[in-house]
């Protein structure tokens, strides 16, 4: 039985109060007078956290125009000056972490330890791009066909206004981290945060303005995806989207019609391989974090585990016992290890997947119960075995605290099972022999693979690109690619007088051909 902390007392006020969320709502780029407003309800308690105005396509057009006007002056600043804003923001995030975590918990429902994970990411990302940008964005010399005669430089020009559509599961990380790279590259931002979690993004962008970001450069427009999201795609110069594969396909079609670029991190059915030579306790603890962090509502969390057959029974028993001992709780304090699901829709999907599997013969090792005694949207960490292809959760992403364990006979079978999916976002290998683990990892079709870790090592390696293969995404966040995707590459080549003469074929075409034939033969042997 999964243990619980006591239910949150109804007398305990949810933080922040309505005065704070009303203040943040006033920052939305939607006129408030007479507008219909959407309620934001806390998954922890069912209380209304606040409300925001519902925007329209016209509001988006106005927001893009305002951001574009401010962006011109921002882009003209030296890169180091823009980077300094990110470093000040880094300090503010650490200083104001408690109020940010209160917001994250109130609107998302995650346990506080996983809210702190967002603080960590935000600070590290701000520092990384502040340090990378001055080097990566400066003009770089490139080789020409006539070295010494033609001078060629690559420049990086901001795209203009970046559209961001962010999800509810990481309301700080996925709304702001990509925006940090876009901003330091010299762009403006128009963002639609998820309707469930607007206040965290609003507070973060407020902190960025406190750090020196020009007012109006970032515009937040709240409202439904069909109107606000579509309008952003129709007006922005580039799109950054995080969400489901189905919605990502729609965004890609709309962006393609306008011939604008996009980057998207999409769905996953992430797998872990556990080899027979691994230390059992190490693998179990790693699997618990990888599967149940953020209540399993993590794009890169693990939903299926393939264990070498001799270890499978012992692993399943130990993993089930450890998952069943995790503490659930609704309080805004450190202690609980598992928070709430973010919405009734998520709860319904999780229950449907588990009930379908059990009805078709899957064995419930632990969990499998809704826990309204703790809060309206709590569900126990759940481990299943004997899952078969006719069950919904076999291939479909659950996006909740549910994981299936499968025995396999060999590394080859494990790799084949992992790769038998339309998704390829993240994977994990737990092993005793790291050389063996690395060899397995290199055969897995996923954008990131962690050896003896679930997801954090690859995610936190900010200098390396992160994203999905197959139906799990387009483009990459993190690394140089995560910065340069928000720029247009421009090549400027300056030709010398001597090059002009050498390259003139009009006076003596035959001589022109002889000269360049000789040049090409010699150039082959020159050092690059």
Residues 85, 129 contacting (CB under 8 angstroms):
no
Q: Report which of 266, 251, 256, 85 is spatially closest to residue 181, judged by C-alpha positions.
A: 85
CA distances from 177 to 33, 173, 414 (A): 31, 5, 34
Q: Report which of 204, 194, 199 is spatially closest to residue 22, judged by C-alpha positions.
A: 199
pLDDT of residue 32: 75
pLDDT of residue 96: 98
Rg (CA), the chain: 26
Domain 270-461 has CATH 3.30.1280.10: no
Residues 382, 403 contacting (CB under 8 angstroms):
yes
d(CA 15, CA 330): 12
Tally the C-alpha atoms within 13 A of residue 453's C-alpha that lie toward its C-beta: 14
Name the residue ranges covered by the structural domains of the chain: 18-266, 270-461
pLDDT of residue 10: 43
d(CA 260, CA 262): 7
Tokens representing 154 are 């690559």
Identified catalytic residue from 51, 117, 206, 265: 265
265 carries an active-site annotation: yes
pLDDT of residue 11: 45
Residues 476, 482 contacting (CB under 8 angstroms):
yes
Q: Report which of 218, 223, 224 is spatially closest to residue 202, judged by C-alpha positions.
A: 218
pLDDT of residue 501: 82
pLDDT of residue 4: 55
Tell me whether domains 18-266 and 270-461 share a fold: no
d(CA 249, CA 422): 14
pTM equals 0.95
d(CA 340, CA 330): 7
Residues 309, 409 contacting (CB under 8 angstroms):
yes
431 carries an active-site annotation: no
Identified catalytic residue from 51, 117, 206, 299: 299
Q: Which residues of the chain have pLDDT under 50?
A: 1, 6-11
pLDDT in tens, 434-449: 999 999 999 999 999 9
Task: Tell me if residue 332 falls in helix, strand or coil.
Answer: coil
Q: Which CATH fold would you assign to the domain 18-266? A: Aldehyde Dehydrogenase; Chain A, domain 1 (3.40.605)
């Amino acid at each position: 039985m999964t243990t619980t902390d006591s239910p949150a007392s109804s007398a305990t006020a949810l933080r922040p109060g309505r005065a704070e969320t009303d203040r943040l709502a006033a920052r939305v780029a939607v006129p408030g007078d007479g507008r219909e407003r959407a309620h934001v309800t806390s998954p922890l308690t069912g209380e209304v956290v606040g409300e925001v105005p519902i925007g329209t396509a016209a509001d988006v057009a106005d927001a893009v125009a305002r951001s574009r006007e401010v962006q011109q002056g921002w882009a003209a600043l030296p890169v180091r000056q823009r980077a300094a804003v990110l470093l000040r923001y880094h300090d503010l995030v650490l200083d104001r972490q408690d109020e940010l975590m209160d917001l994250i918990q109130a609107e998302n429902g995650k346990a506080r330890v996983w809210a702190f994970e967002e603080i960590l990411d935000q600070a590290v990302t701000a520092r990384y791009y502040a340090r990378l940008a001055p080097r990566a964005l400066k003009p770089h010399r490139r080789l020409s066909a006539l070295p010494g005669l033609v001078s060629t430089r690559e420049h990086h020009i901001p795209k203009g206004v970046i559209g961001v559509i962010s999800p509810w599961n990481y309301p700080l990380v996925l709304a702001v981290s990509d925006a940090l790279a876009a901003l330091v590259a010299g762009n403006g931002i128009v963002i639609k945060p998820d309707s469930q979690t607007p206040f965290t993004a609003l507070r973060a962008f407020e902190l960025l303005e406190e750090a020196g970001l020009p007012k109006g450069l970032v515009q937040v427009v709240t409202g439904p995806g069909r109107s606000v999201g579509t309008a952003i795609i129709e007006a922005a110069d580039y799109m950054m989207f995080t969400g489901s594969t189905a919605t990502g396909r729609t965004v890609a079609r709309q962006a393609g019609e306008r011939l604008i670029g996009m980057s998207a991190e999409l769905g996953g059915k992430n797998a872990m391989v556990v080899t027979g030579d691994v230390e059992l306790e190490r693998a179990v603890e790693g699997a618990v974090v990888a599967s149940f962090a953020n209540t399993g509502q993590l794009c890169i969390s693990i939903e299926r585990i393939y264990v070498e057959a001799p270890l499978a029974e012992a692993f399943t028993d130990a993993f089930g016992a450890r998952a069943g001992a995790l503490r659930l709780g609704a309080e805004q304090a450190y202690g609980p290890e598992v928070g709430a699901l973010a919405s009734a829709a998520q709860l319904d999907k999780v229950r449907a997947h588990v009930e379908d599997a059990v009805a078709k013969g899957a064995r419930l090792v632990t969990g499998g119960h809704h826990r309204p005694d703790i809060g309206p949207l709590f569900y126990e960490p759940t481990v299943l075995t004997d899952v078969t292809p006719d069950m919904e959760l076999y291939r479909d992403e659950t996006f909740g605290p549910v994981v299936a364990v499968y025995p396999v006979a060999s590394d080859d079978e494990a790799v084949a099972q992992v790769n038998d999916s339309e998704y390829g976002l993240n994977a994990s290998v737990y092993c005793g022999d790291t050389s063996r683990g690395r060899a397995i990892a290199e055969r897995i079709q996923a954008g990131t693979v962690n050896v003896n870790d679930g997801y954090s090592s690859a995610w936190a390696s900010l200098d390396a690109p992160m994203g999905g293969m197959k139906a799990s995404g387009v483009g990459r966040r993190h690394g140089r690619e995560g910065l340069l995707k928000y720029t247009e590459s421009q090549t400027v080549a300056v030709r010398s007088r001597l090059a002009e003469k050498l390259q003139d074929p009009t006076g003596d075409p035959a001589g022109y051909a002889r000269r360049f034939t000789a040049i090409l033969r010699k150039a082959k042997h020159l050092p690059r």
